């Protein structure tokens, strides 16, 4: 059963709490455990790049953070409160917003209708559209167009707009580069990097480490369901390419 938000537990301590934190988190798909005690923290105003080879558990970690997959052991914390068992919609209301792998947009709905989907979090369509079209004028021009008929970059803009319209404090981003040309990936990460100036903190899972390096504050290397190292993005990328990807 999902825990009501009113039952959340504050974790005592003098230090300011990270905005998002996983403490010794284990999670499974059915009987198979795939996260074996993940520790990770997202500090305010930072961009943490979650790097690692296929199947390491990056997407699963983001799914736990967004409330889609339950924590079986350990703690998921948002701003110092334990949020184990809180569902995805309630986490979104606490400011945790997700753009899943594949962007999560509905290709057979128009741009406007895709934005409408986010009104479930309590924001009006008018406000969602205002924020989206101001940030990405091209979406305003395409408001009546089916999302599936837009370019990959435009679809990613739509996914970002839908997430940002709810005024999140934490953005979870999975494989932004998927299906995009390298130039568009650079442009999109440029946009994402600037979101930190708007007060967002970002956890981004990315297989193409090089794409996210320029905007990352720190990087976490994930292997076989564990975060095995956290540090400077360039160091982690170097370790990843020499030790795990064979050069
Ligand atoms: N829906 C699922 N059901 C069962 N096992 C799954 C499911 N999704 C992922 N897994 C398994 O969980 C492990 C971690 O996968 P995950 O997708 O989190 O890794 P990843 O680091 O994001 O990799 P990729 O970059 O390939 O998406 C893998 O062994 C994968 O096979």
Give the position, in ligand 1's atom list, of the atom nearest the Cα of 205.
22
DSSP line for 84-110: TT--HHHHHHTTEEEE-TTTT--TTSB
CATH of domain 5-95+168-244: 3.40.50.300
Supply the mean pLDDT for the chain: 89
pLDDT band at 25 (very low <50, low <70, confident <90, very high): very high
State what percent of residues in the chain have pLDDT above 90: 57
Among the residue ranges 2-16, 28-42, 180-194, the one predicted with the least confidence is: 2-16
Residue 177 has pLDDT above 90, yes or no: no
pLDDT of res. 5: 62
pLDDT of res. 155: 92
- Strand ranges of the sheet holding 226-231, from the earlier edge strand across to the other edge: 96-99, 170-174, 201-205, 47-51, 218-223, 226-231
Residue 39 has pLDDT above 90, yes or no: yes
Ligand 1 pocket residue status of 54, Cβ below 6 Å = yes
Ligand 1 pocket residue status of 227, Cβ below 6 Å = no
Q: Which residue has the tokens 């905007």?
A: 215
pLDDT band at 247 (very low <50, low <70, confident <90, very high): very low
Q: Which of 72-86, 90-104, 154-168 has the highest mean pLDDT?
A: 72-86
The reported pTM is: 0.89
Residues of the chain with CATH 3.40.50.300: 5-95+168-244
CA 150 to each of CA 41, 103, 108, 109: distance values in angstroms, whole numbers, following the listed order: 35, 13, 11, 11
Q: How far is the CA of 184 from the centre of ligand 1 (A)?
A: 26
């Amino acid at each position: 059963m999902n825990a009501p938000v009113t039952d959340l537990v504050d974790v005592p301590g003098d230090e300011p709490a990270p905005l998002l934190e996983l403490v010794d988190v284990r999670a499974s798909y059915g009987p198979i455990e795939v996260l074996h005690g993940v520790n990770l923290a997202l500090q305010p105003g930072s961009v943490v790049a979650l790097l690692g080879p296929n199947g390491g558990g990056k997407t699963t970690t983001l799914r736990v953070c967004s409330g889609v997959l339950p924590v079986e052991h350990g703690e998921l914390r948002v701003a110092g409160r334990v949020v184990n068992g809180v569902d995805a919609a309630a986490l979104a209301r606490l400011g945790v917003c997700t753009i899943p792998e594949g962007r999560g947009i509905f290709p057979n709905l128009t741009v406007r209708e895709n934005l409408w989907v986010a009104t479930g979090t309590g924001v009006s369509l008018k406000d969602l559209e205002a924020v989206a079209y101001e940030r990405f004028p091209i979406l305003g021009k395409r408001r009546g167009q089916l999302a599936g008929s837009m370019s990959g970059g435009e679809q990613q803009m739509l996914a970002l707009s839908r997430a940002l319209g709810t005024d999140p404090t934490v953005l979870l981003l999975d494989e932004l580069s998927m299906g995009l040309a390298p130039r568009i990936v650079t442009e999109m990460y440029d946009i994402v990097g600037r979101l930190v100036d708007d007060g967002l903190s970002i956890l981004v899972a990315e297989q193409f480490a090089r794409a996210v390096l320029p905007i990352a504050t720190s990087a976490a290397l994930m292997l076989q369901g564990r975060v095995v190292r956290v540090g400077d993005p360039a160091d982690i990328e170097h370790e990843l390419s020499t030790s795990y990807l064979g050069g």
